[in-house]
């Protein structure tokens, strides 16, 4: 895929409070931006936006959001990316079988390690041989180079983000009396950030730059994801040019940084590749509540490849993935689910 004509941005979202359920992923970001364009500019702009995705040059490609530790004292940020899909580690390579369990639970890897792996400067054998688990009584953290710190794999000298989750109780309200409805207690999982921000990467057609950033500014206060009517999902926006890593043009494989729905020919190519590694997740979105107040209208579920999947390059494809029709809307039109890949080239044998 060629991205030479796109602008490149790192979009930092500093949460004002919590996110509901999870850090926003690419399909959630796309849905929020699309509804914001509709609210700001009307149905004509939304139609233009969605129609542009049917060609070979989408107006924008979005990664999922990833965590970034912000050291306010040093003024330094530690960016993290999704843990690459590495498959099963042979037990012979692990000093302790418990390391396999910890590695399986690792979701994010700091960008210093990620770049070294991507460039082939180090391999997983080297990491395993110099690895310790933070807080483990059987591990020697002082002599280790790499640390498993909760769901993060970091270089010893780097800091891990602090992300916490907690369930909060709520109840449905009787609109006539204003009191709680008996038997309608529910719990919501919320994500909290401590000295931590989240960010996503963006390839952007210059013609859509003004409108897309206007949509993001609108979403600062409106919020992204579930629970926006209760204060979740709001953030302060910061945009910087470029990515926090080198954007390579060469490579036999690509690492995916979004939720990806392969087209038929792409899936056949992936299935016939020996080196492809990926994990699958089911996604099921809901129609924006402000347009159907009081109703929860669910889209059909979609199976997608997760962030961190390692896939073979297809030179004949200008883009990977597409929009997926998931619901016929009352009054005409079709709700679409975002399934474009966000490719980062990787040399053969790396990762």
Distance CA 204, CA 254 (A): 19
* Domain range enclosing 148: 75-160
In a domain, 142, yes or no: yes
Q: Which of 107, 129, 160 is the last residue of a domain?
A: 160
In a domain, 226, yes or no: no
Total tally of structural domains belonging to the chain: 2
In a domain, 293, yes or no: yes
| pLDDT for the residue 86 | 81
**Would you say 187 and 170 are in contact if contact means Cβ atoms under 8 Å apart?**
yes
pLDDT in tens, 16-61: 888 888 899 999 999 999 999 999 999 999 999 999 998 888 999 9
In a domain, 53, yes or no: no
In a domain, 22, yes or no: no
Q: Which residues of the chain have pLDDT under 70?
A: 1-3, 88-97, 138-139, 167-188, 229-231, 286-298, 330-332, 348-350
| pLDDT for the residue 90 | 53
In a domain, 267, yes or no: yes
| pLDDT for the residue 284 | 80
Q: Which of 160, 180, 198 is the last residue of a domain?
A: 160
Q: What is the 3-state secondary structure (H, E, C) of the chain?
A: CCCCCCEEEEEEEEECCCEECCCCCHHHHHHHHHHHHHHHHCHHHHHHHHHHCCCCCCCEEECCCEEEEEECCCCEEEEEEECCCCCCCCHHHCCCHHHHHHHHHCCEEEHHHHHHHHCCCCCHHHHHHCEEECCCCCCCCCCCCEEEECCEEEECCCCCCEEEEEEEEEEEECCCCCCEEEEEEEEEEEEEEECEEEEEEEEECHHHHHHHHHHHHHHHHHCCCCCHHHCCCCEEEEEEECCCCCCCCCCCEEEECCCECCCHHHHHHHHCCCCCECCEEEECCECCHHHCCCCCCECCCEEEECCCCEEECCCCCCCCCCEEEEEECCCCCEEEEECCCCEEEECCCCC
In a domain, 64, yes or no: no
In a domain, 236, yes or no: no
| pLDDT for the residue 309 | 96
- CB atoms under 10 Å from CB of 20, counted, come to 20
Q: Which of 141, 160, 179 is the last residue of a domain?
A: 160
pTM of the model: 0.88
């Amino acid at each position: 895929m060629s991205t030479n004509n796109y602008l490149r941005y790192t979009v930092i979202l500093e949460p004002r409070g919590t996110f509901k359920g999870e850090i926003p992923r690419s399909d959630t970001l796309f849905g929020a931006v699309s509804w914001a364009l509709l609210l700001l500019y009307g149905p004509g702009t939304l139609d233009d936006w969605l129609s542009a995705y049917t060609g070979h040059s989408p107006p924008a490609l979005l990664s999922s959001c990833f965590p970034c530790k912000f050291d306010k004292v040093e003024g330094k940020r530690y960016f993290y990316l999704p843990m690459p899909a590495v498959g099963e580690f042979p037990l012979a390579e692990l000093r302790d079988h418990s390391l396999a369990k910890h590695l399986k639970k690792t979701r994010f890897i700091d960008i210093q390690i990620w770049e070294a792996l991507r460039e082939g400067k180090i391999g997983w054998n080297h990491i395993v041989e110099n690895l310790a688990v933070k807080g483990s009584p059987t591990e020697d953290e002082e002599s280790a180079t790499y640390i498993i710190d909760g769901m993060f794999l970091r270089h010893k000298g780097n800091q891990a983000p602090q992300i916490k989750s907690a369930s909060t109780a709520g109840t449905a309200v009787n609109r006539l009396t204003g009191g709680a409805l008996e038997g309608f207690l529910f719990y919501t999982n919320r994500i909290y950030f401590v000295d931590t921000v989240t960010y996503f990467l963006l390839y952007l057609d210059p013609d859509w730059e003004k409108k897309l950033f206007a949509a993001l500014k609108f979403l600062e206060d409106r919020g992204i994801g579930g629970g926006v009517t209760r204060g979740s999902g709001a953030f302060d926006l910061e945009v910087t040019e470029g990515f926090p890593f080198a954007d390579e043009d060469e490579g036999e494989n690509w690492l995916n940084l979004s939720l990806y729905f392969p087209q038929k020919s792409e899936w056949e190519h992936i299935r016939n590749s020996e080196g492809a590694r990926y994990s699958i997740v089911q996604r099921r979105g809901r129609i924006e509540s402000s347009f159907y107040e009081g109703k929860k209208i669910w889209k059909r579920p979609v199976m997608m490849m997760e962030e961190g999947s390692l896939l073979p390059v297809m030179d004949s494809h200008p883009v990977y993935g597409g929009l997926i029709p998931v619901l016929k809307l009352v009054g005409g039109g079709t709700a679409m689910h975002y399934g474009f890949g966000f490719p980062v080239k990787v040399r053969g044998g790396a990762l």
